[in-house]
Amino acid sequence: MYVAVKGGERAIDAAHQWLAEERRGDTDVPEMSVAQIREQMRLAVNRVMAEGSLYDPDLAALAIKQARGDLIEAIFLIRAYRTTLPRFGASRPVDTDAMAVERRVSATFKDLPGGQILGPTFDYTHRLLDFKLAAEGEAPVAGRADTGVGHVPHVTGFLNREGLIEEQPSSDDTPPDLTREPLELPANRALRLQALTRADEGFTLGLAYSTQRGYARNHAFVGELRIGAVEVEMDIPELGFAISIGEVTLTECETVNQFKGSKTEPPQFTRGYGLVFGQTERKAISMALVDRALRWEELGEDNVGAPAQDAEFVLYHSDNIQATGFLEHIKLPHYVDFQSELELVRKLRRSAGAQDLQEAAE
């Protein structure tokens, strides 16, 4: 006899237990600590912080451990945690000009004040598997030198002095907050940048790449890429001045793009901008290219119908937590919808069959 399926609760409990066991893996292999992940999987931690919109390397490392290395799942854990946190206030805008740079390169000038600083980069490594890493070895130590780097001015500042690059008007307006207000269109640039900085890295990369291949090509040069720590300051009303409440490492990318000029504007360079938590170069450069592509309207450029120019398309599809949830929900039961589709298809087939019979008879 048929009995309607019961036992959803038991199935869920059993699945959770199995998952926990799988997460740990073979117990003969030592368990990984959160600190190990934080120190040795730092780029993964950075991505989780950037797309989770929460700067906390320990929590990000914990999320990666809990998510078994699935970074989108880890980002989800961070987002769900973040949304429950109380808000004490807003910091002052960070000053990236005063960044303690670890890495700073410009593709537009061979040498420049502050110098080119390669920093810890994969850029010129040969991508050969290093089998020495498979055997645990001693910790490598890099040489130290006093670089004498003091203040590192922004490259776009040099161009700006000559009037060669568009002026970026500063504004004291409070930017909109994507996590507190529903996304409404048209979105201004501050809101777009906010969405892009937490956007999925792969999606942003794909869009940026598409602009390079001709879908809204905007001829980007990396004017400057800089990575380093900046101070976060907050105004304390009781004190009457701002105090430093901590440091965050950021990656900032400013692209310099061609602009042919218009009837009212002489030819000059324009800007694309990327700013992301942690050392996240690929993401920051991608963000700058997509930012620039989305600015077609204010710059009086043609809409060539490229995906990267379409703010609604980009903003509505860039969030991997929204995307993965909706994608994966098709695993949920859809018996009811499917049943009504079954009835419909049977009905349509019946009337089609009846017609065929009638035609055969005529």
Quick one: 125 or 358, whose CB is closer to another protein? 358
Closest by CA to 230, choosing from 215, 242, 248, 203, is 248
Span 169-188, contacts to another protein by CB under 8 A? 179-186
**Residue 168 interacting with another protein (CB under 8 A):** no
CB of 328 to another protein, least distance (A): 6
d(CA 53, CA 75): 9
Q: b/e for 183-192, b at 16 or more Cβ within 10 A?
A: eeeebeeebb
Q: Write out the two tokens for 79.
A: 């987002």
Quick one: 52 or 274, whose CB is closer to another protein? 52
CB of 330 to another protein, least distance (A): 8
CB of 342 to another protein, least distance (A): 7
CB of 318 to another protein, least distance (A): 13
d(CA 228, CA 231): 10
Span 255-284, contacts to another protein by CB under 8 A? 262-264
Q: 165 pairs with which residues across the strands?
A: 269
d(CA 249, CA 279): 7
Q: Write out the two tokens for 240.
A: 């009457």
Span 323-352, contacts to another protein by CB under 8 A? 324-329, 332-337, 339-344, 347-348, 351
CB of 71 to another protein, least distance (A): 15
CB of 198 to another protein, least distance (A): 11
> Which position among 58, 95, 97, 312 is part of the footprint of another protein (CB under 8 A)?
312
Backbone angles phi, psi at 21, to 5 degrees: -65, -45
Q: From residue 337, how far is each of 8, 247, 330, 343 by CA, in Å?
A: 20, 52, 12, 10
Span 68-97, contacts to another protein by CB under 8 A? 76, 79-80, 82-84, 86
CB of 350 to another protein, least distance (A): 11
Span 182-241, contacts to another protein by CB under 8 A? 182-186
Number of residues that bind another protein (CB under 8 A): 53
d(CA 233, CA 277): 16
CB of 312 to another protein, least distance (A): 6
Would you report the helix, strand and coil content of the chain in percent, each value rounded to 5?
Answer: 45, 15, 45
CB of 332 to another protein, least distance (A): 5
DSSP letter string, 41-67: SHHHHHHHHHHHT---HHHHHHHHHHT
Backbone angles phi, psi at 343, to 5 degrees: -60, -40
Pairing of strands 270-277, 220-236: unpaired
Quick one: 56 or 247, whose CB is closer to another protein? 56
**Residue 122 interacting with another protein (CB under 8 A):** no
Checking phi first, is residue 20 left (phi over 0); if not, alpha (psi -120 to 50) or beta?
alpha
Quick one: 58 or 343, whose CB is closer to another protein? 343
Can you count the helices (H) and strands (E) in the chain?
Answer: 12, 4
**Residue 302 interacting with another protein (CB under 8 A):** no
Residues that bind another protein (CB under 8 A): 1-2, 4-9, 11-12, 76, 79-80, 82-84, 86, 179-186, 262-264, 312, 316, 321-322, 324-329, 332-337, 339-344, 347-348, 351
